[in-house]
């Protein structure tokens, strides 16, 4: 049932909108709309019941184990939400003077400082509103840096073939062409291929480390030398920062510029698709190019820096200071963790991933990189299972929904066939991991005994498998009154 189907002409929760204004106002007739918009005419209770009911059709961290690889679905502490929604924070207008937001700006300044410290970078901007916007900002800074030196021939960004799709897309938005670098049999970037790809045309290399294959790039220092010697810069995609938070810093690995997904590593909610926040960190040579605004402190007073303060900045990425409410949640989370808490994030995320990997291997699952240590996540491949039973990674993923776990990431990275990328995160207990292993064992048995059960899964969700092909061939993107 859609909200529109509950609608009755003339129904209106009058107490939620202001009293009718007297008179017609001063808007000329030619500017007025002829037909009211298609919004539902329903009661407040209708709305509350309808959307509460819809929420119950979702899997979420609060209701289910959510081992979605490369997405870091860890617990989103409730205190972060409650405190970011204090009335004074919510009411403050973004263009209000800095002296009416000293409490907020102090949090933002301290968040910049915290992020510098835990990433080993020289300066941080909180402006980017998501990881991909952080990538855009990072690559735009690389370009601004080369341009500022008159080094205009560098027109290519290198990206490993296992990278997230945002990496090549961000590079193209900055006017670069993209060259993919192959991965070797152990899941590392092929260093020889990297060596032969770099040159005077190389603007930079974008790298996720640990990689999307769930392993640490062991040759990271050598890779950095290769790129830097060719005059390129090294970009760190922070998608997997949770694997190293408190253990290793991107700045110490030699990266010139990074972005951090606060909605992963700093536990702000994913919200059914967003909002995120993608602050960028840089070393000293890129600092002048950071996106605006930045938060500065002098004698205990905080203010936002603009164009006049930072003439070399790549500019603004949004109308305001990024996703401020997300930044507040991340700040509160960081303060609750503190130094000791942060040191434990990578350790326990890695413990959980390696435990789960070991147990699934014992249960008969095939690892994509069996000789490697897992980072905070790992890849299994169901290619053998598919050949034996016809059951695919998609079937297993859908069957997991019946068993009460959200599916891992499927079919990514693209070069590992029939793969599941599994990331348990540090906030899950051994008991939850053991239940997941038990569910996976059951599925493995079902695959042999009754593959149709898997092929037709899920069976218990609000809808069964959906016809994606129909959705794309005959797009129905809005509701039409019958």
Partner 1 sequence: MPFIPHTEEDVREMLAAIGVGSFEELFDEVPRELRGRVGASVPPGLTEMEVTRLMHRRAERDGSWLNFIGAGAYEHHIPAAVWQIATRGEFYSAYTPYQAEASQGTLQLLFEYQTMMASLAGLEVTNASLYDGASALAEAVLMAVRAHKSARRVLIPATVNPVWRKVVRTIVRNQGIELLEAPYCSAAGHTLPGALEKFAAQDLAALVVPQPNFFGVLEPVDELADWAHAHGALAISVVNPVALALLKPPGQWGADGADIAVGDGQPLGVPLASGGPYFGFMACRRALTRQMPGRIVGETVDTDGRPGYTLTLQAREQHIRRSKATSNICTNQGLMVTAATIYMALLGPAGLARVARASHANALALATKLAEIEGVARAFSGPIFHETVLRLPVPVAPVMRALKAQGILGGLNLKHAYPELGDALLVCATETKNEQDLAFYAENLARIVGKRQAPRSGALKPTNS
Partner 2 sequence: MTTPDNLKYTKTHEWVKAEADGTLTVGITFHAQDMLGDVVFLQPPEVGRTLRKGEECAVIESVKAAADIYAPVSGEVVAANQELADKPEKVNQDPYAAWMFRIKPADPGELGALLDAAAYQEVAEADKH
Q: Under rule CB under 8 A, which residues in 135-194 are in contact with partner 1?
A: 135-136, 140, 143, 164-166, 168-175, 178
Give which of 61, 70, 75, 62 is closest to 266, Cα–Cα.
75
- Angle (nearest 5°) at CA 285 between 283 and 287: 65
CB 70 within 8 A of CB 412: yes
Of the two residues 4 and 411, which places its CB atom closer to partner 2 in the complex?
411
Give which of 208, 143, 207 is closest to 176, Cα–Cα.
143
Q: 407 to 426, contacts with partner 1 by CB under 8 A?
A: 407, 412, 426
Q: Is 66 in the site for partner 1 (CB under 8 A)?
A: yes
Of the two residues 298 and 472, which places its CB atom closer to partner 2 in the complex?
472
Q: Is 91 in the site for partner 1 (CB under 8 A)?
A: yes
DSSP notation for 406-451: ---EES-STTSTTEEEE---TTS-HHHHHHHHHHHHHHHHHHHH-H
The entry of partner 2, partner 1, none that residue 260 binds, CB within 5 to 8 Å by partner kind: none
The entry of partner 2, partner 1, none that residue 411 binds, CB within 5 to 8 Å by partner kind: partner 2
The entry of partner 1, partner 2, none that residue 149 binds, CB within 5 to 8 Å by partner kind: none
Shortest Å, Cβ 384 to partner 2: 15
What are 482's two structure tokens? 């019958």
Q: Is 372 in the site for partner 1 (CB under 8 A)?
A: yes
Binding string, 212-231, against partner 1, x = CB under 8 A? ---xx-x-xx----------
CB 37 within 8 A of CB 6: no
Peptide bond before 345: cis, by omega within 30 degrees of 0? no
Binding residues for partner 1, how many (CB under 8 A)?
Answer: 195
**Which one of residues 33, 57, 93, 473 is an interface residue with partner 2 (CB under 8 A)?**
473
Q: Is 161 in the site for partner 2 (CB under 8 A)?
A: no
What are 250's two structure tokens? 């991107």
Q: Is 88 in the site for partner 1 (CB under 8 A)?
A: yes
The entry of partner 1, partner 2, none that residue 97 binds, CB within 5 to 8 Å by partner kind: partner 1
Q: 455 to 474, contacts with partner 1 by CB under 8 A?
A: 456, 458, 461-468, 470-472
CA atoms within 13 A on the CB side of 234: 24
**Which one of residues 468, 477, 481, 482 is an interface residue with partner 2 (CB under 8 A)?**
468
Q: Is 203 in the site for partner 1 (CB under 8 A)?
A: no
Query: Which one of 198-206, 240-248, 384-392, 443-451 is the stretch in contact with partner 1 (CB under 8 A)?
Result: 240-248
Give which of 126, 208, 198, 121 is closest to 163, Cα–Cα.
208
**Which one of residues 65, 69, 71, 330 is an interface residue with partner 1 (CB under 8 A)?**
71
CB 49 within 8 A of CB 15: no
Shortest Å, Cβ 411 to partner 2: 7
Give which of 180, 179, 168 is closest to 132, Cα–Cα.
168
Name the region of 70 (left: φ>0; alpha: ψ -120 to 50; beta: rest). Answer: left
- Give the separation between CA 467 and CA 472, rounded to whole angstroms: 9
Shortest Å, Cβ 394 to partner 2: 10
Of the two residues 295 and 416, which places its CB atom closer to partner 2 in the complex?
416
Q: Is 273 in the site for partner 1 (CB under 8 A)?
A: yes
User: Other C-beta atoms within 10 Å of 207: how many?
Assistant: 26
**Which one of residues 27, 319, 472, 477 is an interface residue with partner 2 (CB under 8 A)?**
472
The entry of partner 1, partner 2, none that residue 398 binds, CB within 5 to 8 Å by partner kind: partner 1
Kind of pairing between the strands at 294-298 and 280-282: unpaired
Give which of 400, 330, 342, 358 is closest to 65, Cα–Cα.
400
User: Other C-beta atoms within 10 Å of 40: how many?
Assistant: 15
Shortest Å, Cβ 445 to partner 1: 21
What are 49's two structure tokens? 């019941």
Shortest Å, Cβ 473 to partner 2: 5
Binding string, 44-63, against partner 1, x = CB under 8 A? x--xx-xxx-xxxxxxxxxx
Q: Is 271 in the site for partner 1 (CB under 8 A)?
A: yes
Shortest Å, Cβ 196 to partner 1: 21
Binding string, 414-453, against partner 2, x = CB under 8 A? ----------------------------------------
Q: Is 411 in the site for partner 2 (CB under 8 A)?
A: yes
Peptide bond before 447: cis, by omega within 30 degrees of 0? no
Sign for the pseudo-dihedral over CA of 384, 387, 393, 398: negative
Backbone angles phi, psi at 396, to 5 degrees: -65, -45
Beta bridge partners of 295: 304
**Which one of residues 190, 247, 297, 442 is an interface residue with partner 1 (CB under 8 A)?**
247
Shortest Å, Cβ 244 to partner 1: 8
- Residue 68 DSSP symbol: B
């Amino acid at each position: 049932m859609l909200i529109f189907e509950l609608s009755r002409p003339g129904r209106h929760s009058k107490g939620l909108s202001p009293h009718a204004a007297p008179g017609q106002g001063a808007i000329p007739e030619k500017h007025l709309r002829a037909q009211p918009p298609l919004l539902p005419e329903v009661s407040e209770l209708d709305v509350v019941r309808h959307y509460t009911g819809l929420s119950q059709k979702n899997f979420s961290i609060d209701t289910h184990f959510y081992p979605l690889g490369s997405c870091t679905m860890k617990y989103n502490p409730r205190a972060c939400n409650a405190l970011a929604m204090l009335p004074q924070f919510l009411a403050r207008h973004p263009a209000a003077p800095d002296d009416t937001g000293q409490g907020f700006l102090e949090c933002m300044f301290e968040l910049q400082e915290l992020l510098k410290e835990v990433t080993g970078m020289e300066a941080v901007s909180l402006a980017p509103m998501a990881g991909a916007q952080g990538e855009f900002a990072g690559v735009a800074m690389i370009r601004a840096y080369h341009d500022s030196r008159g080094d205009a021939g560098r027109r290519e960004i290198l990206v490993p073939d296992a990278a997230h799709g945002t990496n090549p897309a961000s590079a193209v938005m900055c006017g670069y062409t993209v060259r993919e670098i192959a991965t070797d049999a152990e899941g590392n970037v092929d260093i020889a291929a990297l060596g032969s790809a770099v040159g005077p045309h190389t603007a930079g290399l974008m790298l996720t480390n640990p990689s999307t294959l769930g392993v640490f790039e062991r040759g990271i220092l050598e890779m950095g030398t290769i790129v830097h010697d060719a005059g390129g810069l090294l970009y760190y995609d922070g998608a997997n920062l949770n694997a190293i938070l408190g253990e290793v810093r991107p700045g110490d690995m030699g990266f010139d510029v990074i972005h951090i997904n606060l909605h992963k590593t700093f536990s702000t909610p994913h919200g059914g698709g967003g909002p995120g926040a993608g602050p960028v960190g840089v070393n000293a040579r890129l600092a002048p190019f950071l996106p605006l605004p930045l938060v500065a402190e002098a004698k205990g007073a905080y203010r936002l820096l603009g164009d006049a303060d930072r003439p070399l900045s790549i500019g603004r990425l949004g109308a305001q200071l990024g996703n401020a409410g997300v930044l507040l949640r991340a700040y509160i989370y960081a303060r609750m963790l503190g130094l000791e808490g942060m040191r434990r994030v990578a350790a326990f995320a890695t413990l959980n991933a390696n435990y789960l990997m070991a147990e699934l291997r014992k249960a008969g699952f095939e690892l994509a990189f069996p000789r490697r240590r897992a980072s905070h996540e790992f890849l299994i491949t169901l290619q053998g299972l598919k050949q034996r039973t016809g059951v695919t990674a998609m079937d297993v993923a859908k069957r997991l929904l019946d068993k009460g776990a959200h599916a891992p990431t499927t079919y990514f990275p693209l070069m590992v066939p029939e793969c599941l990328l599994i990331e348990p995160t540090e906030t899950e207990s051994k008991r939850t991991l053991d239940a997941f292993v038990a569910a996976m064992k059951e599925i493995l048995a079902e695959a042999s005994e009754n593959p149709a059960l898997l092929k037709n899964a899920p069976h218990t969700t609000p809808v069964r498998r959906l016809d994606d092909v129909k959705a794309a061939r005959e797009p129905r993107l809005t509701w039409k009154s019958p």
